[in-house]
Chains A and B, each alone.
Chain A
Amino acid sequence: MSIQLAKSLKLQNAKTWSVDYKKAHLIDCNLLAVASADHKIKVLDIRDVDNIRLNDVLDETVHKKTIRSVAWRPNCSSWTLAAASFDSTISIWNKEEPVVDYNDSDADDVYNQDEMELLAIIEGHENEVKGVSWSHDGMLLATCSRDKSVWIWETDEMGEEYECISVLQEHSQDVKHVAWNPFVNVLASSSYDDTIRLWKEFDDDWECVAILSGHKGTVWCSDFEIKEVEGGISRLCSSSDDGTVRVWKYIDDNDDEYGQQEWICQTILPKVHERTVYCVSWSENGLIASTGADGKLVIYKETDEEGTWEILAKHDLCHTVYEVNVVKWINLNGTDMLVTGGDDGYINLWSVNT
């Protein structure tokens, strides 16, 4: 098994902080949103590795500082994107999905005129917003900040109005990242306080239902397994400043204690990284990818025995000597690939060959 560079694109002279991927419904294209330190958000249209075009650069006057995180809204027919910035705000962008594909004759002009429009600016956090994530039904948005809080916002079908339904303030330090479970409304938040907290609605209020402790440094990122578990919650993987990637497993509900859940650290993945692991991503086929400050990209596979993992492939210096901030699985025409973004301002596409 090997990881091979399929495409390398320099997008800007500033750090690439975040990417998110969405498959269009009506036309056959893959959208990649890219957030960077130069206050810009770009949308790439990827047909295959040799047919990538810059679809849109969103209005760069909207945010005054670094864009730290971007997320496409799932379960909605239009293209809606949320972006979190160090300027303490979150922006929501929207565009109706084009019905005419530009790959069809003469459609080019129509397609290009149609830019993503600013739908809303959400204010509330005191300082840098670091993470943004949509619930699986697209009706809830979670955001987190250096102000130590996680906010949950409820929206409507149109995605124009955002009402804060809960402010979660139990982390003792910056909250670095938020991630929703892909099947049930359980939220994971990762923090500079070295823990992950899990949140769930209970008696009309959002409660912290579990604290995952074990990492010996800032937790930078987490991602849920894409596997529906009847009556339960799928597993969570997390990455940290301590150089490890961990997998956490839901065990049971403690019925009488305000919806508290029991989670255990099921395993620590074989250690490869030498520095901070900034990002992890769990594929639909059950593989975990991780990357970080040491520039390594690593893919792990679970053996037949649950909880036992092996290294499937690794690649050094993914963005030459630069740090890599983000990794994400994408599915391109039926094939699983990886996208990475680094401090060099590039995004790289990787094919995983058997």
Chain B
Amino acid sequence: MSEYINDSPDVLDDDQLPSRQGDGSEELLAGFASKETLHRKKLLLRIDHSVKSQLLQNIEQLDKLLSLNSPPELVSDESTEESSDEAASEGYEEDDEEVDPVDTQEIYDLTAHIQDPEHPLSLGQLSIVNLDDIQVRDDGNPKNMAEIVIRITPTITHCSLATLIGLGIRVRLERALPPRFRITILLKEGTHNSENQVNKQLNDKERVAAACENEQLLSVVSKMLSTCK
């Protein structure tokens, strides 16, 4: 996993990712300090390709120190990255859950921040997860079944990690969503050489259950999900 199969994917900046309108995230992201640090982090990542790089960590530390003197809403870049996500989910929790259907933006917010297993970037930034490729059928009633279909776009057609990415998405959604959801995860048509094989595996409940009892696999998935919250 040390060598990147895809060296120069089209990377979206985090503030380019679709987010819910009018939830205050634009204002948060518009803050000068946060936007600048985000941008800098992204430039550094392109040079170094690793979140573990000493330079990047030093600069992050510096940003954190500087942010201590900033107004309260302009926190460190790390948490700013998640701000649109948090704002959206907090808004959701305040509402009465019984009558509030889950929508595609919510599913996007839950999955777009999962870290790619080989790039130090999120599935949203790499356009593996796209808002337009999520379908939700939910009336919001916890006593009825609901359905989610999410189509993922691997970065290359022979990506050996497509199954792992799909597993990460499934684990994330099963942990975060109420039990009424039946989740179908598919590779977007024509994006992978062994599309049917991967699709079959990703939607086999028994295989997923067994994978989740495999400690090695589970620790990789946990690492991918560590960037969510």
Q: Digit string of A306-329 for contact with B (CB within 8 Å is 1, else 0)?
A: 000000000001001111000000
Contacts A68-B206, A322-B179, A323-B205 given; does A294 touch B145 at CB 8 Å: yes
B210 CB–A CB distance under 8 Å: yes
B140 CB–A CB distance under 8 Å: no
Known: A146-B210, A323-B182, A323-B205. 20 other contacts (CB 8 A): A65-B210, A66-B210, A66-B213, A128-B206, A146-B207, A174-B207, A192-B200, A192-B204, A217-B200, A218-B200, A218-B204, A293-B182, A317-B145, A321-B142, A321-B143, A321-B144, A321-B145, A322-B179, A343-B179, A344-B179
Chain B residues, CB < 8 A from A128: 206, 210
Chain A residues, CB < 8 A from B204: 192, 218, 241
Which residues of B are interface residues toward A (Cβ below 8 A)?
142-145, 179-180, 182, 200, 204-207, 209-210, 213
B145–A66 CB distance below 8 A: no
Tell me the smallest distance from the CB of A325 to a CB of chain B, in Å.
8
- Bound CA–CA A294/B147 (angstroms): 11
A86 CB–B CB distance under 8 Å: yes
B213–A275 CB distance below 8 A: no
Chain A residues, CB < 8 A from B210: 65-66, 86, 127-128, 146
- Bound CA–CA A323/B213 (angstroms): 20
- Bound CA–CA A174/B207 (angstroms): 10
A320–B143 CB distance below 8 A: yes
B213–A86 CB distance below 8 A: yes
Contacts A294-B145, A295-B145 given; does A321 touch B206 at CB 8 Å: no
Chain A residues, CB < 8 A from B143: 317, 320-321
Q: Digit string of A77-110 for contact with B (CB within 8 Å is 1, else 0)?
A: 0000000001000000000000000000000000
Q: Total A-B residue pairs with C-beta atoms closer than 8 Å?
A: 47
Chain B residues, CB < 8 A from A15: 209
A293–B205 CB distance below 8 A: yes
Closest to A322 in B: B179
Q: Within residues 272 to 286 of chain A, which ones have a CB less than 8 A from any CB in chain B?
A: 275-276
Chain A residues, CB < 8 A from B213: 65-66, 86
Q: Within residues 148 to 187 of chain A, which ones have a CB less than 8 A from any CB in chain B?
A: 174, 176
Which of B144, B204, B206 has most chain A Cβ within 10 Å? B206
- Bound CA–CA A130/B210 (angstroms): 10
A321–B179 CB distance below 8 A: yes
Q: Digit string of A246-261 for contact with B (CB within 8 Å is 1, else 0)?
A: 0000000000000000
A46 CB–B CB distance under 8 Å: no
Counting chain A residues whose Cβ lies within 8 A of the other chain, the interface size class is 20 to 34
Tell me the smallest distance from the CB of A218 to a CB of chain B, in Å.
7
B180–A321 CB distance below 8 A: yes
Chain B residues, CB < 8 A from A330: none
Chain A residues, CB < 8 A from B144: 321
Chain B residues, CB < 8 A from A344: 179
Q: Within residues 230 to 244 of chain A, which ones have a CB less than 8 A from any CB in chain B?
A: 241
- A37 in complex: contacting residue of B180, B182, B207, B209, CB < 8 Å: B209
- Bound CA–CA A343/B206 (angstroms): 12
Top 4 nearest A-B pairs by Cβ distance?
A: A321-B180, A65-B213, A128-B210, A86-B210
Chain A residues, CB < 8 A from B205: 276, 293, 323
Tell me the smallest distance from the CB of B17 to a CB of chain A, in Å.
31
Chain B residues, CB < 8 A from A317: 143, 145
- A176 in complex: contacting residue of B142, B179, B206, B209, CB < 8 Å: B206
Closest to A86 in B: B210
- Bound CA–CA A275/B207 (angstroms): 17
Closest to A320 in B: B143
- Bound CA–CA A66/B206 (angstroms): 10
Chain B residues, CB < 8 A from A323: 182, 205
Tell me the smallest distance from the CB of B207 to a CB of chain A, in Å.
8
A-B residue pairs in contact (CB < 8 Å), sample of 6: A68-B206, A86-B209, A192-B204, A276-B205, A293-B205, A317-B145
- Bound CA–CA A174/B197 (angstroms): 13
- Bound CA–CA A244/B134 (angstroms): 27
Closest to A294 in B: B145
Tell me the smallest distance from the CB of B204 to a CB of chain A, in Å.
7
Chain B residues, CB < 8 A from A218: 200, 204
- Bound CA–CA A203/B180 (angstroms): 52
- Bound CA–CA A354/B174 (angstroms): 39
- Bound CA–CA A321/B213 (angstroms): 24
- Bound CA–CA A324/B75 (angstroms): 46
Chain B residues, CB < 8 A from A192: 200, 204
- Bound CA–CA A276/B206 (angstroms): 12
- Bound CA–CA A344/B205 (angstroms): 14
Closest to B145 in A: A321
